[in-house]
Structure 1
Amino acid sequence: MNRSSALLLAFVFLSGCQSLAPVSPDATSPVEDSTSAPEKPKVYSSFSEDTVFSLLSAELAGQRNRFDIALDNYVTQAINTQDPGISERAFRIAEYLGADQAALDTSLIWAKNAPDDLEAQRAAAIQLARAGRYDDSMVYMEKVLQGKGDTHFDFLALSAADTDQDTRNGLMKSFDRLLQKHPHNSQLIFGKALLMQQDGDAKEALALLEQNPPEDGEVAPLLLRARLLQSLNRGKEALPLLEKSIRKYPDDKRLRLTYARMLVEQDRMEDAKTQFSSLVQQYPEDDELRYSLALVCLEAKAWEEAKGYLEDLIARESHEDSAHLNLGRIAEELNDPQGALIEYGQVGPGNDYLPAQLRQADILMNNGRTDEAQKRLVAARDAQPDYAIQLYLIEVETLSANNQGERAWKVVQQALQQYPDDLNLLYTRAMQAEKRNDLAQMEKDLRLIIQREPDNAMALNALGYTLSDRTTRYAEAKTLIEQAHQLTPEDPAVLDSLGWVNFRLGNLDEAERLLRQALERFPDQEVAAHLGEVLWNNGKQREAKQIWSKFLKDQPDSPVLRGTIKRLTGSETL
């Protein structure tokens, strides 16, 4: 093609301004214009021959999937010409490709050279917000607001979620300033409510939304109200709000999905099942919904229904590993261990792989097939070397849980020969050493972990607890546990250890306070045994028996509880 022919073709092309590639509405959201008015014809300036040839080259490059060349040419010409049509085109390409800096630069050129184009002003506002330039973003979004265009103040608020407090405070002031001028603007009100939610002011955000009901067609404020009610432990109030909203907007997917999830959170599984079933019927191609429905059926113990949905997913080649994992769980619930093994064996590498390996090992060992379980884990390590350490840990833990302590010890020793610097394996060996009464080895491994990771709260707590429980080195134990407590003050395991060492030191009231906190956060048999023993020694034998009795109902054969009761009362029964 000669140069003059190329120029003629370029002029023909520019008059049509066709796309390089299809850009979905989501790709440009929230910049797209929501109005239904016909698009104004683009007006192009007179371009130099070099500019036209550069643009033609860009289009041809795009047709050959060389989007890097296309973008570079368009950005260059947007800068050179300052033409709104070219800068818009450059912006669309940059946004489609996820080229953030180019999208920002070209949106600003577009907005500058098309001051009356609300879409251009909105594009600049969105890109500035993405770049963290919130003050500048508000200037452009205010222009959209003044022009009565479709603003996206909610996007500005959401994009500030991970910023520092000073930035959010500045943005809040900008919202308040605009609300003084436009006190009833629903987008401003919604954006401010989002900022308040991010700052932990759920009550104030809820009050703001309740005082300013959304306009017809605005669903997002209703969803935020429901989430705020849920966060304030007023979830039961959220359900009627969502039910009313669903009646008003029966085809809104977000409303029904939020309603279904809140029903799950409130343990109303049958109602949740109904809602998810409705969603699946409404959106039959949405496999996320189908998988959610399967999980709700599992929670409701509707095994056959769950199986049906999971098998559908496998047939649709969607969520296959998760489906096989859950089919294995169903088989276990139905006392079909062989069926469970078949399902677990079909789970491939990914998030569900290790849980499937763990369940296989546990099933086999529980059925006396320990050798087979170990052979499978060896084969899994050979087949998936990236999971080798985790598979060693699974083997050790399942062997230990099935009273195969010697085998567990041999496996962890073998693992550490292969991976001598792995801290998880060192910690696991320390726990196995404690079970073998080899406290010297346990302490050696835990101190090595602490030397390498001084802020390893788990190792600090484990060493401190063992010293308080198995030795008389109470002061040293307390120092270690207090270090762990400073690192993880809400951890119930650390609170339990701190309570126990205080008991050993004779600080009964402090021990009781800490152990009550631990039991409230983590209702566990060992914590219950500890709290009961402290209460027993603090003159509260009746309450101690009540706590032990409560936990024995769930775990009647608990060796920790039975051992504590026998040691203190002389009998294993209360």
Structure 2
Amino acid sequence: MTRSRKGPAALVALSLIAPLPAAAQDFTELLEIRRVKETLDLNQVPEPDLSQVPAVDAQRLRDYRTLTAGALQHAAEPMQAQLAANTFGDLCARYLHYELHDAAAVCLDQLRELAPADFQWAYFKLLLQIASGDLEGAVAAAEEALAIRPDDPSTLIRLAELQVAAGDIDGAEAAYEAAIEAYPESATARIGLGYIALERDDPAKALQIFQEVAASQPEGSEANHHVGLAYRALGDADRAAEAWRLNQDVLIPMYDPLLERLRPLEEDVTLPLDRAVAAAAEGDYDRAIRLYEEILEANETDEEVHFRLAGSLLVVGDDERAERHLRRTIALNPEHGPAHFALAMFLNRAGRRTESAAHLERAADLMPENLPWRLERAQMRAGTGDAAGAISELERIVAADPAMIEARRTLAALLIGSGRAEAAVDQLQALVSLTPDDLQARFNLGLMQFETGRYAEARRTLDEALERFPADIATRHLLARLLATSPDDAVRDGARAVDLAQSVVDEQPALDHLETLAMALAEAGRFDDAVTWQQRALEAERQAAGGNSPQRLDRLALYQARQPLRAP
């Protein structure tokens, strides 16, 4: 619950403060002393177990509880009652912030009784129910919050997420759409609609939504992860992998009143660097930049501040200054691995690949335990033509972390490209075990098994792929060719090969597909039909290339001799 997300500019931070004549008031209605003292009873709020809270923060919580008790006890006039109520609310927010749920639940109930029309307490109750795992209670809390503020985007988004979890896709869609109507720029709500499209088996619509969100977000946005999921649902593993490579886990901003409520509570006790880091974590990069620069005015040699400032500058698009601060970080500490890595990624995006590669090599050498960096290094080596160096690095990576999916995927592709089909089979088998819904991995595994003579294994692999992805043309085509041409009698099935190949030709009458249908017909003993379709394939080749290859002419002669084709 402590994960920060910056709120949209169109919404104001929630506050207990509302204007009164000549004074600041914390609730939206005038609270009388008696009502405050009767409703807010700190003795009923259990003392939380602070053993898991950092020692400094735990002491602050104890001190703040003592402060709250004193404020309630000594409230003798309306303004003091208001301040006491405000302090009680601050304590409640702190308990919620540190996930001290039992204490937070009791004080929230008291605050909601005291100020039933105050939106934030209903919203905080919603957050508490979600954190506690009470989804039914969370839905009820969301409905109560929306009764107070019907068009609150953050509440609508959380309600939509709860409805998705409950299987109410229609309700979730309506909630997401209402959130977008209230705040059209809400990337989080649009991401939600993308997942609704995926739930309804419409990955093309989901892809369009996710791509629009990604285009509106900073470089490296986690929106690229969602784009990759849509591509995977469409069966395009290569584009999915490319989208995932673009994801640098830059959060999609989402307004969260709890964090807005807590920020002013913590600023008076937080060091300047902590305030800057918190601002960046909340997405308030302009404020973070300003705070970092103030720190550097006092101490220009602080390498960590230079590095963090560079990160915020990159997010807002100030590349020139970001590069300057990254280089200053490295000048101050040549062994600052994260700075080398960040500079390498920046230089690569700018097309300065030689220098980028040097910094990436240095970063990975400085922090060999950072496998994602080493994966980036391997991919950069592959991109510059050093396939052997990339394969060597990737083999070490998967040995260190056998479950690192992207490393295995990249290694398999490089092994295939290097003609090492047997080694590729091993990587692809592991990849299929790790990612059963990876169509491209299953297809490539079947293809490599076919090419290495593992015909029975290839059939099992392709049959399983077709069970999961019955509409995939490439899988149907490869299986049809295997069933038609395998030298293994137990693998061949001419009749099924014809059915598969015919379905492929009906959808895409491409040259290779026409030829596979001819192979299947020959295996089924229908040689006259095989000759007809092979002649169609030859005509298609002549139209495309101006002539025919000897191999395809030999196949025609084979069928005319009433002989089926066998794979080598």
TM-score, length-normalised on structure 2?
0.45
Higher relative contact order (CA 8 A, sep 6+): 2
